Amino acid sequence: MTDTSGFRVIARKTVTKVGFLNITLATIETPDHSQVERIVIEHPGAVAVVPRIGDDVILVAQYRAAVDAVVLEIPAGKLDVPGEDPSEAAVRELSEETGYVAQGLRHLTDLFTTVGFCNEKITIFLASDPTPGNAAPIGAEEESAEIIVMPWVDALDAVANGTITDAKTIAGILIAEMVS
């Protein structure tokens, strides 16, 4: 999508930088040539992997501070360096979080997570039949996470009944179902 329908960013000012996020104030010219300001969270991008092993999927039950709850998700993580190849990051994140090693990846989609205030784009891949290896969790949440091998049909049910609420996980599972 490149159509801006007459809107144009005319200025960006960094408000603050917190960790890997930049918080900016964007000045936007509207189609009627007035100006509005919007806060934008700039994110380096992320990857996620739907790891299928036969009729199962590997999920991670991990505490997420933003919602103060343990959330059931596909393995995922941010791009660590500018310009990092998303497929390489996906292989790294799958291995770090679950110990499984992707033998190959299939690109499923790119999606924007929260377009109202953030530019985070997640590239989602399907990993078919990854092999077990050694996990290398980073940080308290990953170290406390539980790796869950769930039957694929149960994951589909968990999406349908609202047990799985994470957007990237819902998208990844549904798109993987559509292409398989």
Express each pLDDT in 30-65 by its tens digit: 999 999 999 999 999 999 999 999 999 999 999 999
- pTM score: 0.92
d(CA 59, CA 97): 10
Same domain, 17 and 92: no
Question: In the chain, which residue ranges form alpha helices assigned H by DSSP?
Answer: 86-98, 140-144, 152-160, 167-179
Strand partners, 49: 125
d(CA 43, CA 119): 6
Same domain, 33 and 58: no
Residue 2 lies in a domain: no
The packing angle between helices 167-179 and 152-160, to 10°, is: 130
Same domain, 69 and 105: yes
What pLDDT, on a 0 to 100 scale, did the predictor assign at position 1?
56
Which candidate, 88, 72, 78, places its Cα nearest to that of 149?
A: 72
Q: Could you tell me the residue range of the domain that residue 28 belongs to?
A: 8-42
Residue 26 lies in a domain: yes
Which one-letter amino acid corresponds to residue 68? D
Residue 1 lies in a domain: no
Strand partners, 56: 53, 151
Same domain, 52 and 34: no
* Tokens 């290398």 found at: 136
**pLDDT above 90 for 124:** yes
What average pLDDT score do residues 130-159 get? 92
Which candidate, 86, 85, 81, 61, places its Cα nearest to that of 166?
A: 61
Same domain, 121 and 144: yes
What pLDDT, on a 0 to 100 scale, did the predictor assign at position 134?
85
Which one-letter amino acid corresponds to residue 106? R
**pLDDT above 80 for 2:** no
Same domain, 87 and 170: yes
Same domain, 90 and 29: no
Same domain, 107 and 25: no
What average pLDDT score do residues 102-107 get? 94
CATH of the domain at 164: 3.90.79.10
Share of the chain above pLDDT 70, in %: 99
